[in-house]
Amino acid sequence: MTNAAAELKDMIALWNKFTDKKDFALNPDKNHVGLIFKGLKMNEKKYGMKLCPCRLRDGTKEGDLKLICPCNFKAQEIWSKEGRCWCGLFMRKK
Ligand code: SF4
């Protein structure tokens, strides 16, 4: 297993732990999860934090803190309307 694959596996384990006993789960589409993971890693390399790959930075530290994954997506309209986070990494359990 490559380092990247091992890191993704560890991250998926963490995300699954995070969603345990909650009303949302990790997206079952592994390809999609892999793409989001890549975006998070790219942002970590660039900005030093795993910032959301689906939203634009406003260039402020305060703004960046709101983009750290996982964010507060359940307080957002996208959750109440579509039952998912912006990136579709987490989805409402059916
Ligand atoms: S929208 Fe999803 S992927 Fe983006 S920070 Fe929030 S939880 Fe993470």
Atom of ligand 1 nearest to the CA of 53: 4
3 state SS for the chain: CCHHHHHHHHHHHHHHHHHCCCCEEECCCHHHHHHHHHHHHHHHHHHCCCECCCCCCCCCHHHHHHCECCCCHHHCHHHHHHCECCCCCEEECC
Residue with tokens 């694959």: 5
The pTM (predicted TM-score) of the whole model is: 0.94
Q: Mind listing the domains of the chain with CATH numbers?
A: 3-92 (3.90.460.10)
Using a 6 Å CB cutoff, which residues line ligand 1? 36, 52, 54, 69-71, 73, 85-87, 89-90
Question: Which of 65, 71, 76, 79 to mutate for ligand 1's pocket (most ligand atoms within 8 Å of CB)?
Answer: 71
Atom of ligand 1 nearest to the CA of 71: 6
CA of 50 to the centre of ligand 1 (A): 10
- Report pLDDT digits (tens) over 8-53: 999 999 999 999 999 999 999 999 999 999 999 999 999 999 999 9
For residues 89 and 59, give the distance between their C-alpha atoms in angstroms, rounded to a whole number.
24
Q: What is the mean pLDDT of residues 62-79?
A: 97
CA distances from 22 to 18, 80, 89 (A): 8, 15, 14
